[in-house]
Structures are given as structure tokens and as C-alpha cells.
Amino acid sequence: MITTSSLRHLRIPFSLLLMPVFLFALAHTPNHNESRILWVFIALHLFLYPSSNGYNSFYDKDQESIGGLKTPPKVTADLLWLSMVLFSIAIGIGWTINGSFASMIFIYGAVSMAYSYPGIRIKKYPWLSWIIAGFFQGYFTYAMAYVGLSDLSWNVVFKSHVILPGILTSLMLWGNYPLTQVYQHGEDDRRGDRTLSLRLGIKNTFLFSALIFMIAGSAFVWYFYSKNQFQVIWVFLAAMIPVMLFFLTWFNFVRSNPQKYASYGWAMWMNIISAIALNAFFVYYFIENTQILQALGY
């Protein structure tokens, strides 16, 4: 029997916050196919990511707020096998496209499980977890989506036209990742998980993320400039304005009272605003980069 608790721990709406990476890969996909687009999206956002969320929740057994759940319900035994069933379905969907996509889904899932699995628990290593989380949720996810959407093989992962945008997505994740930990210091410390935000401290977490965001923003501008997409640069910068304004406002409040404002609510709004802005931008970029409207006669 699947409990309501387990369904909530899958955090499917929270998984949709990772859509910008999928959309970025879609914008660069050379072989568009409506069926593949749908099934790659379903495999990643409705099965793989929720499976990862559920598996990690099972071993973390959080009692305080986590991403997508302000008050996590008590974990039940069915959550573990449910997460494995979803993982298996994701791999199965991957196989209907090709073996490379399926194997990348398996690798992503295995690494995400190692993040919280007690025998490995990457989460307890501050810099290693930061590097791995940003790499796999960024570059690797971009490459995985690109392979699935384009029906290509592993060898494309190491091509420059995949490496460059993949690194850009990792930079975004490396900037945001520590901010997702600022409200979890108490529980992480009790469990012995020396997360990067816990190691840096609340205020330094914001300074560190601001630095990475500046690098990421500059890298995106350079990338679009190198492709002579000058109009895209201005649209990208406009999309980032609400994100930066919210970040600076949040940081200003945190500086005055870290314990009060380094909270779940502020962190979730940061994620939501970032996701909305980036999703909107990458939808625009998909339309602009593929010239799909012109192809349809608009």
C-alpha cells in the first residue's frame, strides 16, 4: 500500500524546478521529435527526480523543512520500494529511446542515492557534495536530456557543443545549491552532515553564492555573445533582474537577523522565482534558437 506520506515525499512539484536544464537542452537539440520530447520529460521529471527525492527522504528522515515540504510527514517503509519502482520505470522509459539514455538515467539515480545512503552519504562532505550535486544536476542532466531528446549516444557528451552549455548549467546549480541548505543547519549539524552552507556560515553562504552567480551570469553572456545572439543577452539579463532583486533583498534581511530570515520560506521563494524566470527565458531561447515559429509559418 502506498501511503500519503510517501507520495508527499516524492515532491513532484519541487522536481519541476529543474525544468530549466531540460529546456536548455531542448533548445539545442538537433533532432526534434514530439514523442521523444514528451517521454524524456516524463522519465526525468515524473519518475527519476521524484525517485531521487523519495529515496533521499527515506534515509534522511528529516523532521524539519526540506525542499518542497515545510513540514515533512513521518517516513514510512513503502517509500523505499516506491522510489525504486519509479527509478526502474525511468530506466525502462529510457530504454525505449536508446541504451545510452537509459544508462545515464541509471548513473544519475545511483549518484543521487549515494548522496544520502548511510554507507556512503556524500551529503556529509561539504565541498565534495557541492561539486557532485552541481555537476550531476547541471552538466550531466543537460547531457542526459540532450542524448535522450536527440536519440544520440554517449560520445556526444564529450563534444564541445554539449560541454559548454552543460558547464553553464552547473554554474547555475553551484550558485544556488548552498542557498538550499541555509535553513537546515540545525538538523544537518545534529546528523553530522557538514554541508557547505554549514561550513561557510549563513552570511558567507550568501557571499559565496553571489560570487558564483556573478561568474555564471558572465559566462552565459559570453556564451550568447560568442554565438552572436546579442538580443538573447538582453532578454537573459532582463530575466535575471527579479532573481537578483529577490536575492539582494533576502540577503539584506539575513544580515540583520540570520536566524529569522535564513528560513525555508525565503529559500523556497528564491527557488520558485528563479525557476519561473529561467523557464520563461529558456522557452524564449528555444523559440529563438530553433526558429520554430518561422518553420511553422508564423
Q: pTM above the 0.75 mark?
A: yes
Helices 126-134/99-116 angle, 10° precision? 160
User: Among candidates 16, 112, 6, 29, which has minimal Cα distance to 285?
Assistant: 29
39 to 23, 60, 124, 248: CA distances (angstroms): 14, 30, 34, 38
Per-residue pLDDT of the chain (298 residues; tens, 9 = 90+): 788 888 888 898 887 788 999 999 999 998 888 999 999 999 999 999 999 999 998 888 877 777 777 888 888 999 999 999 999 999 999 999 999 999 999 999 999 999 988 889 898 888 999 999 999 999 999 999 999 999 999 999 999 999 999 999 999 999 999 998 888 887 777 777 788 898 999 999 999 999 999 999 999 999 999 999 999 999 999 999 999 999 999 999 999 998 888 898 999 999 999 999 999 999 999 998 876 655 555 5
Topology of the domain comprising 4-295: Farnesyl Diphosphate Synthase (1.10.600)
3-state SS assignment for residue 152? coil
Q: Which residue has the cell 564529450?
A: 158
Listed in sequence order, the residues at least 6 apart from 285 whose beta carbon sits closer than 8 Å to its beta carbon are 23, 24, 27, 232, 235, 236
Amino acid at 156: V
79 to 55, 57, 237, 276: CA distances (angstroms): 7, 8, 41, 29
233 to 64, 170, 176, 263: CA distances (angstroms): 40, 19, 21, 32
